[in-house]
Amino acid sequence: MPSSTPDFPTTATPRRAFLRGVRAGAPFILVIAPFGLLFGVVGTEAGLNLAEVMGFTVLVIAGAAQFTAVQLMADNAPTVIVLATALAVNLRMAMYSASLVPHLGAAPLWQRAFAAYGLVDQTYAASILEYDRDPSLSVPARMAYFAGCFLIVSPFWYGATLAGALVGTAIPPAFALDFAIPITFLAMIAPALRTLAHVAAAVVSISATLLLAGMPYGTGLLVAAVLAMATGAGVESMMARRT
């Protein structure tokens, strides 16, 4: 008879979970490195010095928001617009945090603080899939898995940003480093489109962003984000009432 044993052990120790997290996060290095390299280049071209570029990437550690903020700063947008747009881009982190509470909420405060800092798209995408696959994981094992994902990715983000800031425009345009941005988000978003609410939010987000692209200072992105979240919540409520 075929074995009914799950693909992953249900009694994983924190050490094993950490190593699994490292393996899950490692493929993201292929896109994180050029992503960070590109930000280093863009940041220096926008007039930031090395300390400002590295401070940005270490403290904010949110690639999409960093690119958005730097572009708006280069366009001399008002500070309030820069902050509001960067916040809108990162609103997804609030939803990520909420979905992780059932899995990591019982962890010690310092571990939750670490998770808050390390909550980037890649660590979230890999971790939430693992938690859904193996709900019997203990809280320490879940945290260890999360840490493994983050700690394999983050050094390449920091290092690639530093390299990009140092070499600046010396990187030939033929390398087309900007390919890393859409590939990164496609790789993370596609597996997450598992329900009608997810798909509806994605469709509205894309459509609204394109339709409102002409709004000043990228404020169309703010409107698109609100519309997408409202759509996703509405569809989810509708589905819940039907069931």
Which is more confident, 229 or 204? Answer: 204
Is the predicted pLDDT of residue 99 greater than 60, yes or no?
A: yes
Give me the DSSP letters along the chain. Answer: ------SS-TT--HHHHHHHHHHHHGGGHHHHHHHHHHHHHHHHHTT--HHHHHHHHHHT--HHHHHHHHHHHHTT--HHHHHHHHHHHTTHHHHHHHHHHHHHTTS-HHHHHHHHHT--HHHHHHHHHHHHH-TT--HHHHHHHHHHHHHHHHHHHHHHHHHHHHHGGGS-GGG-GGGHHHHHHHHHHGGG--SHHHHHHHHHHHHHHHHTTTSGGGHHHHHHHHHHHHHHHHHHHHHHHH-
Q: Which residue has the higher pLDDT, 110 or 214?
A: 110
User: Across the chain, what does the average pLDDT equal?
Assistant: 83
The 10 Å Cβ neighbour count of residue 21 is 26
In this predicted structure, the answer to whether residue 55 has a pLDDT above a threshold of 50 is yes
pLDDT for position 169: 61
Q: Structural domain boundaries of the chain? A: 14-192, 194-243
**pLDDT at residue 141 tops 80:** yes
Q: pLDDT category, 137, cuts 50, 70, 90?
A: very high
With 60 as the cut, is the pLDDT of residue 5 above it? no
Residue 70 burial by Cβ neighbours in a 10 Å radius (0-12, 13-18, 19+):
buried
Average pLDDT of 23-51? 86
Task: Quick: pLDDT tens for 147-193.
Answer: 999 999 999 999 999 998 888 666 666 555 555 556 656 655 666 67
Contact (Cβ atoms closer than 8 angstroms) between residue 84 and residue 218: no
pLDDT of residue 172: 64
**What's the average model confidence in pLDDT over 203-215?**
88
pLDDT reported for residue 2? 45
Residue 9 confidence (pLDDT): 47
Q: What is the pLDDT of residue 39?
A: 86
* Burial class of residue 127, CB neighbours in 10 A (0-12, 13-18, 19+): buried
| pLDDT value at residue 12 | 77
Which residue in this structure is represented by tokens 């900007």?
178
- Average pLDDT on 198-225 reads 83
